[in-house]
A and B are shown apart, each in its own frame.
Chain A
Amino acid sequence: DTEVTQTPKHLVMGMTNKKSLKCEQHMGHRAMYWYKQKAKKPPELMFVYSYEKLSINESVPSRFSPECPNSSLLNLHLHALQPEDSALYLCASSQDPYSNQPQHFGDGTRLSIL
């Protein structure tokens, strides 16, 4: 069983839609991450939240908007996405951002843009 829960598991949306991806963890971790992953490629870091504050934004287009409402929740708001944004979106958490502790991953959301 995964300790990081992501919903939905699959999402199909048009380029004009607005949707959100949700990630939740109850391990008391204070760092949370969003990654984008294409098939057979490593995860690409998008955003890092440290103690509920955005600490890294890896030059991600503004059509992706992260939000961390509290220490257990992480959202990724999507708007006006492009077909090339179709990918697996992974959420991860770690004990704290600088501890060299492993990251724990969710199952991901498979996103398809029509």
Chain B
Amino acid sequence: AQTVTQSQPEMSVQEAETVTLSCTYDTSESDYYLFWYKQPPSRQMILVIRQEAYKQQNATENRFSVNFQKAAKSFSLKISDSQLGDAAMYFCAVPTGNQFYFGTGTSLTVIP
């Protein structure tokens, strides 16, 4: 089975500052995708960003970017110019076959 590790159960960031959430994984796949999901208190899991493992370039979506280190099997999420609406649980996920393997999550607090 896959293992996906998020070593930071809780993080906090000042509004407008930058924060990085870490994720490491283990996979035997050679070609795969990686995902970050956000789950605010409203409950819905929202896709934040997706990275294709065979692409060298790190994915970027507005204020969200990825630092993908394939050899190290590391997939961190950087949030720039943090906003109050970024407060949520963040889960990284690695699909294998027809299953998603989720990390344990990081609870992000944004301080006004």
Contact present for B98 and A41 (CB under 8 Å): no
Report the separation of the CA atoms of residues A9 and B23 in the bound assembly, to the nearest whole angstrom.
31
Compute how far the CA of A108 lies from the CA of B44 in the bound complex, rounded to whole angstroms: 7
Q: What string of 1s and 0s marks CB contacts (under 8 Å) between A19-63 and chain B?
A: 000000000000100000000111101001010000110000000
Residues on B with beta carbons closer than 8 Å to the beta carbon of A69 = none
Q: Are B89 and A55 in contact (CB under 8 A)?
A: no
Encoded as 1 (CB less than 8 Å from any B CB) or 0, chain A from 78 to 114 comes to 0000000000101010000110101111111010000
| Contact between chains at A100 and B33 (CB < 8 Å) | yes
In contact, A40 and B44 (Cβ under 8 angstroms)? no
Interface check B56, CB cutoff 8 A: no
Residues of chain A having any CB pair with chain B under 8 Å? 2, 31, 40-43, 45, 48, 50, 55-56, 88, 90, 92, 97-98, 100, 102-108, 110
**7 A-B pairs with the lowest CB-CB distances in the bound complex, closest first:** A97-B98, A42-B102, A105-B45, A100-B33, A108-B43, A107-B44, A102-B47
